[in-house]
């Protein structure tokens, strides 16, 4: 199998490295040797091991019939989408780590692959090296998936872990993440939940077999989470995590990315730092969880290479993936229900109790140094009901909770 | 696809139930309807929904060419092995939850399936409903697997969790597990580590692509773990878990089932109760972990049904599984290295310090009520080195540790 790699950035160069390092066992698993014939990049890499394979024109790859599989690690929608589509139409399998591309055009590209009896694979697009796409497609096939909840953004999980463990403010934790290279200089895509939203679009589309559009997902980031919130979380035995959740509640489907408080009974509770984890709830299976490095050069590249091996093994046959281009009608997130942790000024305690009815007060010790507040947990209610009540008091902050008092 | 179910016990009846409950989505995933034509059992089930499918003679199933896939959920080696082999030789795919059968005859049965262009699948043989076999075969294919460590026996994990959380003795925790149906009246296979050993034989064979025999695995159960050990574990911030471990250290392979102390930095630390979890360490991937219900009727049946779906989708083609019948030479477990937690009589402190050299003392508070002991952690050393030293003092108990001071 001759392959081409589109884009020699972090992941692309990782793919070349993994193929090199584990070449022997990869050939055994794939049933034949896998060699990189071309690397497409606009830059030059003089003296690098890929110097001889480097091309600057996509057409060189597209028109070479010897290339059976193309790895796309450029990122972004264009020109990735045009390139990938052309490769598939020309009968080349494609393996990609590009979540934006998969979230937006996954259904169409899978359909082309199906017609051409080749494969469009994207294990690395969610959760880096964690096997989650293939298990959803091939292992959890006997399940009706009721819920899929992921910690799928390492940057925000790193920041939240720092805030939890060291009492850092959001700003300080973000700065540290940036200094360590875990967060970008413009961190918006991560901290506002958009990266997690794209991954959720993919996970939910696969879980329910229909198109879930990124644009329809309700997203709330972590920028409003404060060190004070974490003081309360500690008292509650809770962690605050950015959860990407797809849920089926009776006939309704919800997809939301929001920071939530979770307790130790939730398997995601102990997922720390840049690690990712995805929890799937099936109707007969109960909970299963997949955990690992959600990003990073080699783990992500490893997942891409596993796809290349699968494409090689399945040369001439399409691996069924159920993802219709028909759009899944998501319910308004305001109908989704959860409990809420709420902080209001101390002076409004009586009013809050009146508005929210029965609440469970959350008290900090004096040593916490937080004064003049009344904090509490509500019963389970819809977002809409919460907003109506919240409008009647001065909400300092509110965080959804995964557990609720009955 | 017409299938037959061999054995209408817990898992077998679960398979029928899952096919019934999720029939519609299963047909969609499999590309065709899957119906149960026969259920083989020696017993009668008057009035049950499978009454009309019940047969008592295996030959009825073997000779019916309409049956394309056979589910084996009888357990044990015979007659399961003869039945499964005959089905495969007759061109029927087989899906099984039978760990003893797979550990012993997996390589041979996979080879028959390969030759016949059908499939022998066994996702449910390890970890119940947790997808682990398929990820090892199809997702971690680009990895050199350096280590696979599992909590793969729910009974012992339940007992250890009870001891940890409630300070129960081994005997009391075992009795409770028996009363709840989590442990059998004769609990030997679980508490001595044999069940975990069979599962490790399967995981290690798949990880390294060669036969790892159950008989060659060093196994130590949990019967010698006491409530006193857990008092020390608490001080150390550790849990004691029964770990099934396959390790590649340079050119040597080890396979052992032993109780070990692990700390919070180990992802297996928070796996509690009857849950199972398997941690895989790859050379480029780092750690990935798979978590879920390791047993139970419906979760296990769900994994069997996922295999049936895969067998249906791959009708006429064999899914590659690398598991040679060639035996993997395991190294003597006495060469394996770890740290040790050791308890000796107080009077032997000086001697222990002399024998073990630099040790880290572990002190309990007076409230723990343990007197007359000196407890400590050793540096990393081989089992052999430990035994030589331990022979010179009176060891009250010793437990391996996953972390070691440098």
A270-295 pLDDT, tens per residue? 999 999 999 999 999 999 999 999 88
Contact check, Cβ <8 Å, A142/B28: no
Residue pair A253/A200 in contact by the 8 Å Cβ criterion? no
Query: From CA A158, how far away is CA A187, in angstroms rounded?
Result: 13
**Is 3.90.1300.10 the CATH classification of the domain at B334-401?**
no
- In B, minimum Cα distance to A208 occurs at B25
Query: From CA B350, how far away is CA B342, in angstroms rounded?
Result: 14
Q: Share the mean pLDDT of chain B.
A: 96
pLDDT of residue A406: 56
pLDDT of residue B406: 55
Q: Share the mean pLDDT of chain A.
A: 96
- Which residue matches tokens 């494969």? A119
The vertex-B3 CA angle with A144 and B104, nearest 5°, equals 95
Q: How confident is the model at residue A296 (pLDDT cuts 50, 70, 90)?
A: confident
What predicted TM-score, i.e. pTM, was given to this entire model? 0.95
pLDDT of residue B296: 87
**Residue to substitute from A22, A27, A141, interface B, most B β-carbons within 10 A:** A141
For A171-186, write each residue's pLDDT tens digit: 999 999 999 999 999 9
Query: From CA B217, how far away is CA B239, in angstroms rounded?
Result: 23
**Residue B290 C-alpha, separation from nearest chain A C-alpha, in angstroms:** 5
Label the pairing between strands B35-40 and B54-55.
parallel
Gyration radius of chain A over CA positions: 23
Query: From CA B87, how far away is CA A273, in angstroms rounded?
Result: 49
**Is 3.40.640.10 the CATH classification of the domain at B2-128+297-325?**
no
For B315-345, write each residue's pLDDT tens digit: 999 998 999 999 999 999 999 999 999 999 9
Q: pLDDT exceeding 70 applies to what percent of chain A? A: 100
Question: Is the peptide bond prior to A74 cis by the omega test (within 30 degrees of 0)?
Answer: no
Q: Which fold has domain A135-293?
A: Dihydrodipicolinate Reductase; domain 2 (3.30.360)
- In B, minimum Cα distance to A311 occurs at B138
Which residues of B are tagged catalytic?
199
Domain ranges of chain B: 2-128+297-325, 135-293, 334-401
For B261-275, write each residue's pLDDT tens digit: 999 999 999 999 999
Gyration radius of chain B over CA positions: 23
pLDDT of residue B46: 93
Which residues of A are tagged catalytic?
199
A2-128+297-323 sits in which CATH class?
Answer: alpha beta
**Residue A385 C-alpha, separation from nearest chain B C-alpha, in angstroms:** 34
Q: How confident is the model at residue B405 (pLDDT cuts 50, 70, 90)?
A: low
Domains B2-128+297-325 and B334-401 share a fold: no
Query: From CA B141, how far away is CA B399, in angstroms rounded?
Result: 34
Label the pairing between strands A373-377 and A337-345.
antiparallel
- Interface A:B, Cβ pairs < 8 A: 181
Nearest to A144 among B25, B130, B134 (CB): B25
**Residue B396 C-alpha, separation from nearest chain A C-alpha, in angstroms:** 34
Cα separation values, B204 from B146, B208, B262, B308, B363, Å: 10, 6, 21, 24, 38
Query: From CA A173, how far away is CA A160, in angstroms rounded?
Result: 8
Q: How confident is the model at residue A85 (pLDDT cuts 50, 70, 90)?
A: very high
For B94-150, write each residue's pLDDT tens digit: 999 999 999 999 999 999 999 999 999 999 999 999 999 999 999 999 999 999 999
Contact check, Cβ <8 Å, A291/B289: yes
Name the DSSP class of B117. T
Nearest to A270 among B28, B143, B270 (CB): B270
Contact check, Cβ <8 Å, A288/B287: no
A384 Rama class: left (phi>0) / alpha (psi -120 to 50) / beta? alpha
Structure tokens at B73: 């959920």
Nearest to B290 among A282, A286, A290 (CB): A290
List B215's β-bridge partners, or say none.
Answer: none
pLDDT of residue A294: 86
**Is 3.30.70.1150 the CATH classification of the domain at A336-401?**
yes
- Which residues of chain A have a CB within 8 Å of the CB of B264? 270
Q: What is the dihedral of CA A131, A134, A138, A143, to 10 degrees?
A: 70
Q: How confident is the model at residue A63 (pLDDT cuts 50, 70, 90)?
A: very high
**Residue to substitute from A32, A33, A285, A286, interface B, most B β-carbons within 10 A:** A285
Query: From CA B372, how far away is CA B76, in angstroms rounded?
Result: 47
Residues in chain A, total = 406
Query: From CA A359, how far away is CA A380, in angstroms rounded?
Result: 11
For B285-313, write each residue's pLDDT tens digit: 999 999 999 888 999 999 999 999 999 99
Q: Is the pLDDT of residue B379 over 90?
A: yes
- Which residues of chain A have a CB within 8 Å of the CB of B317? 317
């Amino acid at each position: 199998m001759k392959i081409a790699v589109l884009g020699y950035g972090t992941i692309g160069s990782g793919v070349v490295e993994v193929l090199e390092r584990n070449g022997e066992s990869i050939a055994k698993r794939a049933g034949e040797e896998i060699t990189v014939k071309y690397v497409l990049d606009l830059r030059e890499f003089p003296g690098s091991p890929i110097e001889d394979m480097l091309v600057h024109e996509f057409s060189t790859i597209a028109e070479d019939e010897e290339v059976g599989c193309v790895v796309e690690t450029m990122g972004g929608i264009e020109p990735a989408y045009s390139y990938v589509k052309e490769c598939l139409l020309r009968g080349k399998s494609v393996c990609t780590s590009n979540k934006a591309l998969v979230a937006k055009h996954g259904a169409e590209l899978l359909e082309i692959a199906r017609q051409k009896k080749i494969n469009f694979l994207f294990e690395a697009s969610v959760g880096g090296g964690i096997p989650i796409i293939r298990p959803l497609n091939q292992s959890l096939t006997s399940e009706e998936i009721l819920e899929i909840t992921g910690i799928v953004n390492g940057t925000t999980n790193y920041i939240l872990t720092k805030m939890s463990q060291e009492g850092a403010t959001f700003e300080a934790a973000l700065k540290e993440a940036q200094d360590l290279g875990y967060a970008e200089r413009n961190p918006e895509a991560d901290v506002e939940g958009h990266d997690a939203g794209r991954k959720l679009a993919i996970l939910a589309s696969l879980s329910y077999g229909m198109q879930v559009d990124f644009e329809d997902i309700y997203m709330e980031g972590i920028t409003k989470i404060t060190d004070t919130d974490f003081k309360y979380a500690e008292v509650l035995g809770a962690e605050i995590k950015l959860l990407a959740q797809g849920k089926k509640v009776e006939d309704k489907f919800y997809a939301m990315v929001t920071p939530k408080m979770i307790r130790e009974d939730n398997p995601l509770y102990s997922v720390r730092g840049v690690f990712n984890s995805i929890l799937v709830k099936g109707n007969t299976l109960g909970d299963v969880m997949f955990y690992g490095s959600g990003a990073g050069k080699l783990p992500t590249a490893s997942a891409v290479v596993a796809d290349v091996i699968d494409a090689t093994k399945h040369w001439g046959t399409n691996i069924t993936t159920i993802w219709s281009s028909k759009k899944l009608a998501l319910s308004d997130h305001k109908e989704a229900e959860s409990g809420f942790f709420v902080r209001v000024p101390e002076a409004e305690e009586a009013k809050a109790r009146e508005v929210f009815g029965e609440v469970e007060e959350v008290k900090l010790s004096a040593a916490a140094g937080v004064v003049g507040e009344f904090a509490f947990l509500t019963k389970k209610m819809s977002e809409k009901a919460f907003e109506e009540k919240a409008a009647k008091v001065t909400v300092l902050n509110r965080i959804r909770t995964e557990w609720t008092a009955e």
